[in-house]
Amino acid sequence: MTRHVPDYSFETAAMARGLARIAGVDEVGRGPLAGPVTAAAVVLNPTCIPDGLNDSKALTARRREDLFDAIMSCAEVSIAHATVEEIDRFNILRASHLAMERAIAGLPIPPDHVLIDGNMTPRGLTLSSETIVKGDARSVSISAASIIAKITRDRIMVDLAQQFPGYGWETNAGYPSKSHRLALRNLGVTPHHRRSFKPVHNILYQQENVSD
């Protein structure tokens, strides 16, 4: 299996076409049963690229935290979310794209070109862009965005875990771990659960039938 190492080649290629400000964009949180989906847009300073950038999933928690601080100190960063209500109203894909669009729009100066993790361009994005499959492991700008989004969302879920103890969000970040699914059955559905997701929907359906 080919193992990609993120580099600056996509950014350099875009700059060679006259596109000066390059933003990397990524999102996290498609799979959880609870919490928002979070996206980040990052414009790296070519003279201040932190060492060791990689797909956030390939890094230790400590390394992610260190890189988060390094990115925030020397890059332009915008973070945005799509809510649980938006995930349920639209769908997780559209909500993810909304978060991406908001993150890009939140940059202090619009980028000339956007590098997007995945194979789909958000339909509301009108800027010059390209999609990169497994981009978080191939482009350092997207790697940086994945780290910022991951750390930010994890912190949100830790905060929510204090308000709704018992679901293990401080460790599972809302993903459907065995303990989270058990807590759903025993403790019920919170306002932060995605009602359109099957495990949550099924519990609500069962509760409705019991109450009938």
**Residue positions forming the annotated binding site:** 26-27, 117
CA 104 to chain centre: 13
Sheet with strand 22-28: strands edge to edge: 75-82, 37-44, 22-28, 113-117, 129-132
Q: Tell me if 137 sits within 8 A of 58, measured CB to CB.
A: yes
Binding positions for a divalent metal cation: 26-27, 117
Amino acid at 152: T
Q: Is 157 helix (H, G, I), strand (E, B) or coil?
A: helix
Q: What DSSP string describes 10-49?
A: HHHHHHHTT---EEEEEEE-SS-SBS-EEEEEEEE-TT-P
Q: Hey, which bits of the chain come out as E strands?
A: 22-28, 37-44, 75-82, 113-117, 129-132
Six-digit token string for 7: 């580099």
